Structures are given as structure tokens and as C-alpha cells.
Structure 1
Amino acid sequence: MTFQTPDRRDLRGYFGAEPASCWPEGARLAVSFVVNVEEGAEFSIGDGDARNEPTYEIREEVVGAPDLCMETHFAYGTRQGYARIARAFEGVGVRATFSTCGRAAERAPWLLRDAVAHGHEVSCHGWLWERHANMARAEEEAVIARTHDAITRACGVAPVGWHTRSSASVNTRALLKARGDFLYDSDAYDDDIPRIEGTHVILPYAFDTNDMRFSPGGGFVQARDFSEYVIGAFERLYAEGAGVARMMSVGLHLRLIGRPGRIAGLEQVLAHMTSRGGVWIAPRREIAAHWAQTQGQRA
């Protein structure tokens, strides 16, 4: 006898019944650029954290003492990287989502105010740049509230989106829904199509079309490595979008793509995408709101 228990994981998704494209003005593809703002929110003994962040341009964790090398690698993002990325967006009229850690917002409110002034969205990326997988429910609830409040104070606009570094906890989405002020989260990597649970939208994110692959061992070295891969993914999704709904996420980091040897990769991607018709490039809040409006009744 074979026993089958309910599966907590949805491995089927839209299989065999993908929704038709519904993007504004008949666009075949929705594209979201997400700029992760983590500078000042990375683990740092110098800031009173229990350890230092080991992931940056090199893999060499300092244990038991402040890591001034690591701290200045992160600081490059706010001191130089942001300006290059912002200019690249402004040059082609693209608006993005700046996914921001709460402690980073407290330390660089001027950066977020500038992003908002240029029409970009600022969303939540945790208080610190950390995983939530092992957080107790009450602790995580407090972290979400603290992050939301910090970003609201810093930029004067309440955030409506959330994305956890790497793994969320089993409680994250339920806590976001319970608050009632989050429209969407991006804690999913399993699709090229958004979905909705009640009124809460889940926007898929991606680690492959992401400048994190410039990190050691990630596979990207030259600017063209990034642009060729991202453009290749774009072209495939654009073609598929002729018949079904497709969304693409491009993940960026101030301290990574903002380097002088890499920024051309982003510029090439932007030039390619904006030269094509039938592409809707928008902040995630607008993509989520549109999906909720047009697809919510099917949930």
C-alpha cells in the first residue's frame, strides 16, 4: 500500500495553465531592476555585531576584531557605486526598486531621499543583511517592524515590499500579511510569473541574472559576462512573453555593479532593453499592484 501525504511545497505552479500576458499597453515582458542597499547593515564587530561579514570582494573573514578592509569594501557602494548606477538609470529613464536594509537606511538617508526624488521605489531588505531562517517568530516580527519604520523615516514614504537575504523563515510571509501594509514580497525564486495569495503578491526574484555572480567563484569577471547573460535571459523571456505572462528580475548591488570595471555591463543591458518595444520596466510596487488588479480575482 502506498501512502501519500499532502506536500507543503508547490512544485506544479502554473504548469499547463500559465496566464496570458496582462502587462500595460500590451507589453510582452515586465522587467524589474532591484538595487540592494546593504552598506552599513553587514555584520561588523566594529558595529557591535557578534561577527564580521565574510562575503565581499575576497573571501577572508577577520575573526575577533573589526575588519576595516571589509567595511571599506562595503562603503564603496554608497560613496561611489550609487552615483554610477543612478546615472545609468537616469540616462535611459528607468525607475528601479532599491531594496534596503533598515540599518543601512538609518546610516544613508540622503541616498534613499535621492532615489525617491528620482522616482525609484525603496523597499525592505531586513534590518541587517542576514538570513531569517532560524529567527524566532517574535524576534522576526520585531525586525520587520523596525525595518519598516526605519525606511519610512529615512525616505518619507512607507515601503510596501519585502525581500529577505537568502532564506526567509517559515513565518516571514505570514508576518508580512498580518501587518497589512506590505503589498508584496520577493522571497521566491521558483518562477518567471508572479502569483497572489489573497491580496498579497509574490514577485519572483533571481540569483542568476544578478551581479552577485561577480563575487569570487560566481562566474562573472568582465562587464560583458553580466550583460551577455542578462541579455540572453531577456531575449528568451521576451520571446516567451508573446504568448504567456513573463517577468524578469535583475539584481544589482551598489558595491558590485557600481565598480568602474563593471558598470558598462549594466549600461549595455539598459541600452538593449530600452531599445525594444513591448517591454515594461517598472519598480516592483507597480508590477505587484498591476498583477493584483488584473489577476487577483483568479487567486
Structure 2
Amino acid sequence: MSEHQRDLVGYGAEPPRAAWPGGARVAVSLVLNYEEGGEANVLDGDPASEAFLHEVVGAPPVTGGRDLNVESMFAYGSRAGFWRVHRTLGAHGLPLTVHAVGQALERNPDAARAMGTAGWEVAGHGWRWIDHREVPEEVVRADVARTTATIERLVGRRPVGWYTGRTSSATRRLVVEEGGFLYDSDDYSDDLPFYVEAAGRPHLVVPYSLDANDFKFLLVHGFTTADDMLTYLVDTFDALHAEGAERPRMMSVGLHCRIIGRPGRIRALDAFLRYVARRGGAWVATREQIARHWLATHPPTA
């Protein structure tokens, strides 16, 4: 099928047996979105300040000017929140995938080096953290190349995964045409990886999640306390763990430096990882590891 043809059937009642390593029931993918410094800002030529995913929920953007409060909320993510997440993952000794905005990484090379040193997978997340629906295709193509080169230079390894988030209709095809990517994650439609046709060939999609995601702290009627998020993560894991006795599943957990990195929220991540370790039956893996496993175990059909 084409990369954007709607598929409302998917695997149906009989999804493939994932055969995760070690007989795991659930492959848990932790994803940290690194965006701070790539958001909308008139200093970077944007018409208005950033209005999305900051602590003053619903505040309108400042048109033609700076919003210093919002800028400092984003700066918290790169100055403090990132390092709190880094310490937490280090304490658990677990892998992580970073969705990294190229410009954001370039503005904090120390964080980029720390990602590489920790052995984290760093995937492309666009050159800027903006809505790409109206961005011309030639600009998106150039941004894919520029982001890829920046990650390789700063982290020490080129990305093999991509997630734009606020994507354009051309992004997936351009990522496939670039030639060095194993997968993209611009999809939320399944609990397992699957293939689509893009640029005339099979392409792997490793779906992401916006429900088991800390961005719900910044939505009306979303998470309020760390316990809210922890309860939801545990409930999600338990449901997938039970289903995984017959058909192993995948669970994505979405994180942001400026959100989960706040001291009143980090406990949700720490406690969830402790719960997963006690419960057992999980393979905590990067998205690259999941993609390589799927490509080897469930290769695309001709």
C-alpha cells in the first residue's frame, strides 16, 4: 500500500508473533523527544513565539515578538530536564531512543555527546520543531539531510530512524529516498511494527504513542501528578503483558526533557521502570533494535 493510504484493517484478529528476544511478552520502547532550541521563535525567522507544549496551557503565541517566559520553559528542558532523565536512565542501565531536532542538538553539543556516550539511539526529528504540513518538499528534503549530518557529527553515528511528529505528506517518501533509514515512527495505528510501500519499495513503520506520553501533562484534563502518569503506564503495560502471553506486543513511552524532566514528574518514569523490572517479561529496547529484530524475523513479502 502507499505510504499514506488509509488501512483500517491492519493485522486483524491474528497479528504476527513478534518473537521478541528472551521470549518477552512486551517490547518497551522509551523515547525522549529532544526539541528545546528548535521550537518557533522570531529570532529564527518565525512569525510568532511557540504556543505548543509548554506549562502555560492555552496561552496564545506572541505575534511578531518573543515570549521570554515560554523560551525559559523550553530552556529548562535542555539545561536541567535532560540531565535528570539522563541520570534516571543511567541508574537503571536501560537503553533509550532520542527523537532529536537537529537545531536543538546543535545548540547543546554537550547533550548530544552525552547521548552518544550513553549508547542511546538518536533518531531524526526534523531540523526545526515546527508544523511541517505547509513546508515545501524541497525544504523538507534539505532538512532531512541536514539533520542526519548534524546527528552523525555530534553524536558519532548517523540516525537510522525518523519521526517528524507534525509531519508533511512528503516526509516518509523523502526519508526512504534518502536511503539510510531502517524505519520511521510517524504513525500511531498499531501495537506492532508493520510495512508500507514508500518510494516504490517496502518500508518499515515502528509506531509511536501519544497516549502513554508525558505531553498529557500539558493538555487540559490530562495528567496532573506523577501518579496519574504512572498509573496509566502500569495499566498499559499490564494489559499488553497479559495479551503478550499469546501474541507479544510493543509499548511506546513518549517523554520530553521539559516535561518528564521536572522534579515533580520524574518519579513517574523511575517508578515505572522499577515496576517493569519487578514484573518481568519485558524487553526494553531502542527503536533501532526493535526495527532490526522485525526486519530479520518478519521480513517484508515480495
Measured against the shorter chain, the TM-score band is over 0.9
Match of 1:28 in 2: 25
Amino acid aligned to 1:124:
G
Query: Which TM-score applies when normalising by structure 1?
Result: 0.94
Task: Please tell me the root mean square deviation across aligned C-alpha atoms, in Å.
Answer: 1.5
User: Are 2:237 and 1:234 aligned?
Assistant: yes
Shift of 1:200: 2.8
User: Are 2:59 and 1:51 aligned?
Assistant: no
Report SS of the residue matched to 2:259.
coil
Separation (CA, whole Å) in 2 of partners of 1:287 and 1:25: 13
Separation (CA, whole Å) in 2 of partners of 1:40 and 1:135: 19
Match of 2:269 in 1: 266
Query: Which TM-score applies when normalising by structure 2?
Result: 0.93
The answer as to whether partners of 1:212 and 1:218 remain within 8 angstroms in 2 is: no
Report SS of the residue matched to 2:261.
coil
Separation (CA, whole Å) in 2 of partners of 1:277 and 1:81: 28
- Per-residue deviation, residues 191-238 of structure 1 (Å, max 9, x unmatched): 101013455320111111000000041511101001000110011011
Shift of 1:67: 1.4
Structure 1 alignment gaps of length 5 or more: 1-6
Name segments (4+ residues, structure 1) moved above 3 Å.
none
Separation (CA, whole Å) in 2 of partners of 1:286 and 1:193: 13
The answer as to whether partners of 2:202 and 2:300 remain within 8 angstroms in 1 is: no
Report SS of the residue matched to 2:94.
coil
Separation (CA, whole Å) in 1 of partners of 2:134 and 2:248: 34
Any residues of structure 2 matched to 1:127-276 within 5 Å, and which? 127-166=127-166, 168-197=167-196, 198=201, 200-276=203-279
Match of 2:123 in 1: 123
User: Are 2:45 and 1:42 aligned?
Assistant: no
Amino acid aligned to 2:285:
A
Separation (CA, whole Å) in 1 of partners of 2:98 and 2:155: 11
Separation (CA, whole Å) in 2 of partners of 1:19 and 1:122: 28
Q: 1:218 to 1:110 in 2, by over 3 A?
A: farther
Amino acid aligned to 1:107:
R
Match of 1:90 in 2: 90
Report SS of the residue matched to 2:260.
coil
The answer as to whether partners of 1:52 and 1:67 remain within 8 angstroms in 2 is: yes
Match of 1:286 in 2: 289
Separation (CA, whole Å) in 2 of partners of 1:92 and 1:276: 15
Q: 1:143 to 1:297 in 2, by over 3 A?
A: closer
Shift of 1:47: 3.1
The answer as to whether partners of 2:24 and 2:248 remain within 8 angstroms in 1 is: no
